[in-house]
Amino acid sequence: MINVGTHVFTPEDGLVVIGSFTLDEDADTLWVEITQNQATGPWPWSYGILGFRSQLGYELGTTKAFSKPEGVVERLGVGRPPLERAGVITFQPRSFNLAWIRQGNPWSLTFAAESGVTAGSGVGAVINTFANAANGNSLPVTRITFP
């Protein structure tokens, strides 16, 4: 993992650019490790929205991202390489977290990242299942990739 940056969030923080990152050639996935730099404490830290933004937008999507003192790895990817490999890693804390920060509880996070190709992305590979909450059935989700 490559260190991207550390940020101590304040009540004024909205969308924060953590640091620059360039994906490896042909990479379709970005893994970001988020490490909380203080103990969890009695307050329940929630999540933020993690993303990788290039000049073409959020080609790898965004995701809910949580943090723990031991670190949490989050995955960004949509199943194909982005057109633009250079960009920035962004994080936007949710208002629930900002309320705890306003009460004097700093939230310091360190971000490290690594890019690569998601394994098992061959033609017709089953990469996930979705459960139907109504009846408990699940359906395989198939992604087809083209050379």
Kindly state the DSSP code that residue 67 receives in the 8-state scheme: -
Q: Show pLDDT as tens, one digit a residue, over the chain (147 residues).
A: 999 999 998 888 889 999 999 999 989 999 999 999 987 666 667 789 999 999 999 999 999 998 888 889 999 999 889 999 999 999 998 877 777 788 877 789 999 999 999 865 444 444 443 444 444 444 444 444 444
Find the DSSP H helices in 26-117: 95-102
The answer to whether 109 touches 36, Cβ cutoff 8 Å, is yes
Distance CA 64, CA 92 (A): 10
The reply to whether the predicted model has a pTM over 0.85 is no
Domain 2-116 = CATH 2.60.120.20 = yes
Domain boundaries, the chain: 2-116, 121-147
Distance CA 82, CA 31 (A): 14
Q: How far is CA 82 from CA 12, 23, 91, 141, in A?
A: 31, 9, 19, 21
